[in-house]
């Protein structure tokens, strides 16, 4: 069974952390992954940086730009994490934009992920229908779970379709926004969280975008299986360095 599915069966709310590979320094990738696991994180999204990250706000954009300046590439990332499964056992997901994967070759990319022990992919700009028609078979051949996003604007029919072709979890974008632009959730968001929870989808939901502290984490996981923290984590390591990662995570009682 895929590590993601196994993790989703655990009787707890899941804390997932996104970070940009190659940031703050090129070779921080592996130690960040190891430290996140040591500090109780349930799942990690390794951000493969892209020059033009359309769905991301200023924090992730800036970290991506820096990571690329540091020399991060798809090949470098694969090289850095090739032995990651010797030390890390929680689910690992690569999150990145489609063009770098397309240039690497989608099949070659998936194959490499399987060799390394990557469990899933999140590709915000790979549309559901293109995935379904052109790439689903390849992802499945290499045992990868593809995670789709839904937003408050996603129609019920589309949510049901996305649920039907997903086999891990659904990434619920907390509000109509790029990453990192929220501070706290209001009634509008909680009613959206509740609306989706009440749909009783086949796939559990994990909420992301705008989770910044224990308060927002608790609010989100009241309705969902887990939550993903990205920009807030990157801000923390930008300001305090990667050595203090445990200080940031302590708040979440993991």
φ/ψ of 175, rounded to 5, equals -155, 170
* Residues in 172-231 at the binding interface with other proteins, rule: CB under 8 A: 173, 176-178, 181
φ/ψ of 108, rounded to 5, equals -60, -40
Q: Which residues are catalytic?
A: 45, 56
CB of 173 to other proteins, least distance (A): 6
Task: Tell me the window of 11-19, 30-38, 154-162, 239-247 that interacts with other proteins (CB under 8 A).
Answer: 154-162
Considering only residues 29, 59, 61, 203, which one is a binding residue for other proteins as defined by CB under 8 A?
61
CB of 154 to other proteins, least distance (A): 7
SS3 call for 127: coil
Buried b (16+ CB within 10 A) or exposed e, 137-155: eebeebebbbbbbbebebe
* Cβ proximity to other proteins, 128 vs 197, nearer residue: 128
Q: Tell me: does residue 156 bind other proteins (CB under 8 A).
A: no
Q: Tell me: does residue 168 bind other proteins (CB under 8 A).
A: no
Q: Tell me: does residue 26 bind other proteins (CB under 8 A).
A: no
CB of 167 to other proteins, least distance (A): 18
Considering only residues 116, 121, 144, 150, which one is a binding residue for other proteins as defined by CB under 8 A?
150
Which tokens belong to 155? 């129609």
Q: Tell me: does residue 52 bind other proteins (CB under 8 A).
A: yes
Considering only residues 63, 74, 189, 205, which one is a binding residue for other proteins as defined by CB under 8 A?
74
Which tokens belong to 198? 């009440």
Q: Tell me: does residue 51 bind other proteins (CB under 8 A).
A: yes
* Cβ proximity to other proteins, 25 vs 153, nearer residue: 153
Contacts with other proteins by CB under 8 A lie at: 50-52, 54-55, 57, 61, 65, 68, 73-75, 97-104, 124-128, 130, 148-151, 153-155, 158, 173, 176-178, 181
């Amino acid at each position: 069974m895929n590590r993601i599915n196994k993790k989703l069966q655990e009787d707890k709310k899941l804390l997932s952390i996104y970070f940009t590979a190659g940031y703050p320094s090129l070779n921080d990738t592996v130690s960040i992954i190891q430290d996140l696991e040591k500090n109780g994180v349930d799942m990690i999204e390794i951000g493969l940086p892209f020059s033009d990250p359309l769905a991301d706000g200023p924090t992730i954009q800036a970290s991506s730009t820096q990571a690329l300046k540091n020399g991060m590439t798809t090949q470098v990332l694969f090289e850095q994490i090739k032995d990651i499964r010797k030390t890390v056992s929680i689910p690992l997901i690569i999150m990145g934009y489609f063009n770098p994967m397309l240039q690497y070759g989608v099949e070659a990319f998936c194959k490499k992920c399987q060799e390394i022990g990557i469990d899933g992919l999140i590709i915000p700009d790979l549309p559901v229908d293109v995935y379904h028609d052109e790439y689903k078979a390849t992802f499945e051949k290499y045992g990868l779970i593809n995670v789709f996003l839904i937003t408050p604007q996603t129609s019920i029919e589309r949510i049901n379709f996305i649920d039907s072709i997903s086999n891990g979890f659904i990434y619920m974008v907390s509000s109509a926004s790029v990453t990192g632009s929220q501070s706290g959730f209001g009634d509008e968001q909680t009613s959206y969280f509740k609306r989706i929870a009440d749909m009783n989808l086949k796939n559990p939901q994990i909420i992301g975008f705008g989770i910044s502290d224990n308060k927002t984490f608790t609010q989100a996981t009241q309705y969902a299986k887990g939550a993903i923290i990205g920009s807030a984590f990157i801000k923390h390591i930008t300001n305090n360095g990667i050595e203090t990662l445990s200080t940031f995570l302590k708040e979440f009682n993991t």
